[in-house]
Amino acid sequence: MPEHAHKVFADSRGSNLYQHDVDYKTKHVSVLLPECSSAPSHLDSVLNNFSSFYLIRKLPVYELLDRHFLETAVYHGAVFGLSYRTRIDEDTCVALMPNGHLTLSLDKDSFEILGFEGKPSRFKHRTATRFVVSVDLTDSSMAPGRRSYLRLLTGLKSRLQLQTDFLLSHHPGGGASLQPLLSRCDWSQHRPEVNCSVLTDLSCPAPRSCDPHNLLMGYDIIAAVSFLSSFVCPEPNTIHRHALSVSVSGMLLPHDIHRLLQELRRYVEQPRLASWVSMTVRGFADSPVSWSNHEHGFLRGGENFYTLMMFHDHTYQLHLATGAHDVCPP
C-alpha cells in the first residue's frame, strides 16, 4: 500500500461529517453492509438516483469564461467541472469549482504561452516544470471586460487555444444554465454506474481494534476482491457470512454523497442489523485540486479518499488518507 498521511477521528458524536468530503471531485463511492445480501429499497433508491453529468468533447477552455455562463452558472455556485482523462503529472488539467475558482495545471511551455499569473507547482523538482494558475472568477477583477479577464480570455482563445475533454455537472435545478454552453459543444449525458456484489465468508478488520493504517489496508483489500491479491486481512478481524458491497462511479456530487450518508445513518440505527457500516469516498486521482482546494499531486496512485465507519450507537470513525504529493487533509 502506498505511503499515506492519516488523520483519525474516533467515537465522535458531531453532526459535521459532511464537511470532510473530498470537495466536489468525487469519482467513486463504495458501501459495505455486513450481514446483508440485498440493499433495502430506500437505500437502493438513493444509490440509483445519483445526479447525471455531462461529458463535453474537446471543450475550448475559454468557453468557461463566457459571460452568460458566468452570470447564470458560475456566479450562483451551480457548476462542477473537471478535465477528463488528463494526467496531472504530464498533461494540462483543468478544474472549475462551485466556489467559482478556475484552476489550470500546466507544463512550463503552456504556462509561458498563456501569459497569465501563476506559481510553480509545490511538487516540482529542482527546476520548475509545472505551474498552477488559479483564478477566482467571482472576483471583481475578473469581471467580463476587466483587464485581468481579457488577459486570461486572450491567452486561452488566441495564444494557448487549450481544448480538453471535460466533465461538467450542476446542482439540482441548475441544468438550464448549462444549455447555452452545451449547445455550442459536442456532448453526451451520463448517469453514474452502480455495481453490487454479495461477498461470502468475508474477513473484515475489527473497526474498533485495528490501528488506522491496518484498517485502511484491510478495506483496500476488500475493495480488491474482484482480482487475485496476495494481501491478507490484518489482525484482529472478524468473519462475516455474507456482506453486500455496492459502488457508484462517475462524477459524483456532494449532495448525493450527503443523501447516501444520511440513509446509511438511518440504516445502521436499526437494532436487528449488523453493528456497523462503512462508506469509502474517493476523489479523482488526476484532479489538480484536492482537500480544501489545495494543489493535488501524483506520486504513485494519486490517493485522496476517506473511509467513514458508522456504528449502531451513533459513534463513528473517520479515516482520511492522501498520497505523499498532497497537503494533509483538514
Q: Where are the domains of the chain?
A: 5-51+192-322, 53-190
Report angle CA 168, 173, 175 to the nearest 5 degrees. 35
Q: Give the integer Cα–Cα distance in Å for 75 and 5.
A: 34
Pick the range with the lowest mean pLDDT from 31-40, 128-137, 301-310. Answer: 301-310
Strand order in the sheet with 193-205: 5-10, 316-322, 304-311, 276-283, 26-34, 237-252, 193-205
Q: What is the pLDDT of residues 87-115, one digit of tens each?
A: 888 889 999 998 999 999 999 999 999 99
Q: Which residues of 15-24 are buried (b: 16+ CB within 10 A; e: fewer)?
A: eebeebbbbb
Looking at residue 211, its pLDDT comes to: 65
Looking at residue 297, its pLDDT comes to: 62
How many residues are there in the chain? 330
Looking at residue 305, its pLDDT comes to: 80
The candidate with the shortest Cα–Cα distance to 280, out of 322, 220, 236, is 220
Question: What is the pairing mode between strands 26-34 and 93-96?
Answer: unpaired
Predicted TM-score (pTM) of this structure: 0.83
Q: Which residue bears the cell 498552477? A: 132
In the chain, % of residues over pLDDT 90: 45
User: How many of the other CB atoms lie within 10 Å of CB of 326?
Assistant: 23
Question: What is the pairing mode between strands 79-83 and 163-170?
Answer: antiparallel
Q: Are 92 and 107 in contact (CB under 8 A)?
A: yes
Q: Give the integer Cα–Cα distance in Å for 278 and 264.
A: 9
Q: What is the pLDDT of residues 187-241, one digit of tens each?
A: 999 999 999 998 888 777 776 666 666 666 555 555 544 444 555 666 777 777 8
